[in-house]
Structure 1
Amino acid sequence: MSAGQAVGETLWQLGVRQVFGVVGSGNFVPTAALVEAGARYVAARHEGAAVTMADSYARVSGELALCSVHQGPGLTNTITGLVDAVKSRTPLLVITGQTSAGSTRSNFYVDQIGLIDRTGAIAEQVYRGETVVEDTVRAFRRAWVERRPVVLNLPLDIQAAGVPAPEQLATDGGGTVRVPAPTPESVAGVASLLATARRPLIIAGRGAVVSDTRDALLLLGERTGALLANTAVANGFFTDDPWTLGIAGGFASDGAAELMREADVVVGFGCSFTTWTTRHGRLLGPDAAVVQVDVDARALGQTERVDVGVLGDSGETARALLDELAARDSRQEDSPYAGKPGWRTETVAARIHRYGRAQSAESQAGQPGLIHPRVLSLELETMLPAARTVVVDGGHFLGWPVTCWTVPDPEGFVFTSSGFQSIGLGLAAAVGAQTARPDRLTVLAAGDGGFLMSVSELETLVRLRLPVLVVVYNDAAYGAEVHHFSGGRTRLELVRFPPTDIAALARGAGAAGVTVRGVSDLTPVAEWLENPEGPMIVDAKIDPDVVGYWAEQDFQGH
């Protein structure tokens, strides 16, 4: 077979079962070989959407997904989604064609290696026909082990070379990877902090989700009397636990933020302590000791608020802390219960119960003919099934679905703009999420700007007949910019647009579409939810003058 075919066959043997892409002459052969072997192929309308579909699929399924694109412009079209996947540390493999050696005058030529390197992804290469299997396996394993996107370049001349069919690989796909364990010294140091803390707080990030650390952190919270929180990308991690404060950061309620600021020791597991998580440092008390646990040494201490960095897997570290605290208990040394009441008290429980998932106070009265975004979100929360995957695009609107809609677990939440703050990734992410979990209803929240930026993937939803509910918070503007530059400034027409009938656009594409200006207009949505077939687009005309409480930090540091 050709080396290009051998790439597809090797990927199948490695366990790749799902591929998203846009096929051109440079990636046709390996993609066709993978599909012929039995993989499912989802054709996107744009390469940028294809890589985001694969990213979302990986986040929801926990499997490594594949994106396949043409060389040159096919690769350059992936850049925004690829950077978002890099910043989200998603294990993802992209295969792309590459011009033959010496073909620098080809219209398709671009320095692909340099381009990939600049995104933060890993650039890998098929070097010769006789090494095609080895090169493909190496790229796959690096994506899985290093939890980073890897782009495998496939030169056309090497793809065409004749090679023996690959023998059955002695591999278990991603392989069993030994995760790094923390040093005994670092465990002892953090245990001492927790043992003497009066108001500890545990924050779980994406790393805690990946390492399946929930049970260990719940036990650690119980042993130390800690309150619990999670970053936005780990939404749903501590669902239903009575001591959780929900999301830490810009989407935290005033009551939750007040409690977080009272913590004297904060331990983040797989949490980067970004400016969003800490509200630019204001969410942490000035005297709090901050501990960061991460498997990547490069991630430790990137913020000045981190006092102690622990290099280790979140799960391994949490279990090691439990063992260390148990040993101290047996020696009656620095007992976490000695001389301190902790703050899992009735008073604190009452404070948690009082604010619940409430946001800061805001009027819910809207302009005539427009619906308040919070009213819309809360009404939909009562209508949506519990088995759901919530996907949010970027924009000012996103605080309402994030704070008003519950999710069953972290795998049921995809925050597309958390890494790169790009809008327009939501429709593609919804395709990936629904493909990964067809047993759950995918609900996408998007702004009109992000929806229209990526509207080509509406055809993908319709073509695949995916039962996805798309809620467009339509304020006829780039709302974040409007609110940021309002207050007497001129030229806001630069970020405002004439009204767009998105419901009519959806119906023209073959989807169900409904315009919502009030709660009573949601009746067709309720009917669709009884037997969802194909996508439904909700064109919600929201009040453009309503400003979310999270908006004040949207542009800090820009």
Structure 2
Amino acid sequence: MKVFQALADALARHGVDTVFGLMGNANLLYLPAFADTGGRFVAVTHEAGAVAMADGYARMSGKVGMASVTHGPAFTNTLTSLVEAVRNRSHVLLITGDPPPVPSHFHHFDIETATAAAGAGYEKVYEPASLVRDLNRALRRIVAERRPVVLNIPIAFMQAEAGEQAPVALPLAPPAAAGPLPEALDRALGLVTSAQRPLILAGHGAATSGARDSLMGLADRLGAALATTVLAKELFAGHPRDIGIFGSLAHSVAGAAIAESDCVIAFGAGLNMWTALNGDLFRGKKVVHVDIDPARFGSYTPVDECVAGDARLTAEAMNSLLDEVLPAAGKRHWAERIEKAMAAYSPQEDFADLSGPDTVDIRSAMIRLDRVLPERRTVVSDIGRFDVGVWPYLRVADPLHFTVMGAFGSIGLGLAGAIGAAMAGEDRPVVATVGDGGFMMHLAELTTAVRQKLPIVVLVLNDGAYGAEHYKLKNHGYDPAHSAFAWPDLADLATVMGARALTVRKAEEIDAVGELVPTLDGPLLVDVRLDPDVNLVRY
């Protein structure tokens, strides 16, 4: 058996069912061999898309997402997507390889150094006979270290005899999450129970640990308000004191509650600059920070008490210690005020609609879309100015069905991430929210969704400009036309590429999306026209 055949067989025995990639000399043989084992090879149009798709696949499936590219520029094309996956701690394996061992070959590049700069792990197949052993090690590191690994398989090995290989060794699950130390828990509870207007803030770590019920129980014992970061949005949906997103995207009731609170107990949240509004939202408050990663404590926001521990286990421990303690009267009064304010809150009445004759207010469009889409859906978002009008209004049934391809701050990865999420095979429609600039950067990947017949709804929030730069230029006194683009008609482009498409210039036109979703046999592009001079960013 040749090395390329042994690799295809080992991937199948590892349970890899999907590989995203672009063929070249280094992977030309093992990808069709992998398909022959029953695996699925998803051919992409650009290497950056391969890694972003593997990343989206990993986020939504819980499996290792795999990408494959050839050597040289194919690998360097993946670097932005690779850094995004690193920053998100995604389980991604990227296989590439050294070019032929010819000194003058123009694809020579230091893969190991570039991988280290990206923050990913690096492994190499050192000889044909070590292929499976080296693959095992790469996959185990991905799970143990919670980051992508680049595996270098030199092209010179591919048609060599594989010989006798080590058996496949599946990755081991990391150790069970730990509960808090009693001393840290006592100090934190002393601060928490002295607060009169407590607020519990949950981040993505709380969602992944399954802490929803224990945190709501803690909030009921304390009479606390409940809020989340963007990446944990809707974790507390249905609770009468759920005020939604904490930070720069908070609505009017949430903003008032955050301002009035005197203690924030954060679980599994990074407390970054957007959540904290550069620290402004925590000034004058006591802050308790619970996280499994002690390195996060104080990284962005000063805290008064740190508790190293899993969010769910820590909340359960707090509940056990508070079982005999009743909330003070002042806390119950605070709780009742929050409940009353949230009962009267209406998203559509919280802002003045800024729709124009041929443009729609993004908030009104998303509120309407939220109503017509199936309740259970996956939302994969790119980043850009449009986010402030999407994230608070387009909901999900579970925060783990929502992700943002923006950990590195690069626009343009959302469409590929959504394709990977759709390929994960979960029984939910996938909605990609992207800006027009980011969409045009990776427009060609729409053809990947067409070829795979993926029923993705691609919402292009189209203001005909790079929106953040548009309003920043105006603020500096320059002509914002420098940031404007006269794109081709996006619906026409999508149609030519084989997708279905519609253009939305009025909020009521968004209802057609709900009618089309049940019958989709491929992607639907929705070109939502926005006014570039309407700026919703408040920071």
**Alpha-carbon distance in structure 1 between the residues aligned to 2:223 and 2:104:** 66
User: 1:40 Cα deviation (Å)?
Assistant: 2.3
Correspondence for 1:295: 292
**Alpha-carbon distance in structure 2 between the residues aligned to 1:114 and 1:25:** 22
User: 1:339 Cα deviation (Å)?
Assistant: 6.8
**Alpha-carbon distance in structure 1 between the residues aligned to 2:192 and 2:29:** 56
Correspondence for 2:185: 187
Contact 1:377-1:401 within 8 A present in 2 as well: yes
Contact 2:369-2:514 within 8 A present in 1 as well: no
**Alpha-carbon distance in structure 1 between the residues aligned to 2:399 and 2:104:** 47
Correspondence for 1:397: 386
User: 1:113 Cα deviation (Å)?
Assistant: 0.9
- Map 1:178-257; keep pairs closer than 5 Å: 178-257=176-255
Correspondence for 1:349: 339
**Alpha-carbon distance in structure 2 between the residues aligned to 1:443 and 1:427:** 9
Contact 1:267-1:293 within 8 A present in 2 as well: yes
The alignment status of 1:552 with 2:538, answered yes or no, reads yes
User: Residue 380 of structure 1 aligns to which amino acid in structure 2?
Assistant: L
**Alpha-carbon distance in structure 2 between the residues aligned to 1:288 and 1:45:** 50
User: 1:314 Cα deviation (Å)?
Assistant: 2.5
- Map 1:90-489; keep pairs closer than 5 Å: 90-99=90-99, 103=102, 105-164=104-163, 166=165, 168-169=167-168, 171=170, 173-175=171-173, 177-284=175-282, 286-326=283-323, 329=324, 335=325, 337=327, 341-342=331-332, 345-357=335-347, 361=351, 363-417=352-406, 419-487=407-475, 489=477
User: Which stretch of structure 1 is more off in the superposition, 383-392 or 352-361?
Assistant: 352-361
User: 1:411 Cα deviation (Å)?
Assistant: 2.3
Contact 1:3-1:158 within 8 A present in 2 as well: yes
Contact 1:357-1:403 within 8 A present in 2 as well: no
User: Which stretch of structure 1 is more off in the superposition, 467-476 or 315-324?
Assistant: 315-324
User: 1:8 Cα deviation (Å)?
Assistant: 3.5
User: 1:165 Cα deviation (Å)?
Assistant: 5.2
Contact 1:228-1:244 within 8 A present in 2 as well: yes
Which one of 533, 536, 542 corresponds to residue 521 of structure 2? 533
Task: Note the alpha carbon deviations across 1:306-351, whole angstroms, 9 max, x for none.
Answer: 333333332333333333444xx3xxxxx36367534663222112
Contact 1:199-1:342 within 8 A present in 2 as well: no
**Alpha-carbon distance in structure 2 between the residues aligned to 1:58 and 1:296:** 21
User: 1:253 Cα deviation (Å)?
Assistant: 0.9
Q: TM-score, normalised by structure 1?
A: 0.90
User: 1:170 Cα deviation (Å)?
Assistant: 5.5
Task: Note the alpha carbon deviations across 1:171-201, whole angstroms, 9 max, x for none.
Answer: 4x44353334432322222232223332222
Task: Note the alpha carbon deviations across 1:10-30, whole angstroms, 9 max, x for none.
Answer: 333333222212222213344
User: Which stretch of structure 1 is more off in the superposition, 54-63 or 211-220?
Assistant: 211-220
**Alpha-carbon distance in structure 1 between the residues aligned to 2:6 and 2:311:** 37
Task: Note the alpha carbon deviations across 1:469-511, whole angstroms, 9 max, x for none.
Answer: 1121211111111112214622422211125311111111111
Query: Percent identity, aligned pairs only?
Result: 37
Change (3 A) 1:165 1:385: farther
Correspondence for 2:497: 509
User: Residue 136 of structure 1 aligns to which amino acid in structure 2?
Assistant: L
User: Residue 232 of structure 1 aligns to which amino acid in structure 2?
Assistant: V
Task: Note the alpha carbon deviations across 1:385-438, whole angstroms, 9 max, x for none.
Answer: 112112222211122221221111112212112x12211112111211212244
User: Residue 216 of structure 2 aligns to which amino acid in structure 1?
Assistant: L
Change (3 A) 1:318 1:522: closer
User: 1:459 Cα deviation (Å)?
Assistant: 0.6
Gaps of 5+ in 1: 330-334, 554-558
Change (3 A) 1:496 1:187: same
Contact 2:382-2:411 within 8 A present in 1 as well: yes
Q: How many residues are aligned here?
A: 539
Give the match's secondary structure for 2:486. coil
Contact 1:359-1:403 within 8 A present in 2 as well: no
Task: Note the alpha carbon deviations across 1:5-64, whole angstroms, 9 max, x for none.
Answer: 434333333332222122222133444444333332222111111111111112222222
User: 1:452 Cα deviation (Å)?
Assistant: 0.8
**Alpha-carbon distance in structure 2 between the residues aligned to 1:454 and 1:275:** 28
* RMSD of aligned residue pairs (Cα, Å): 2.4
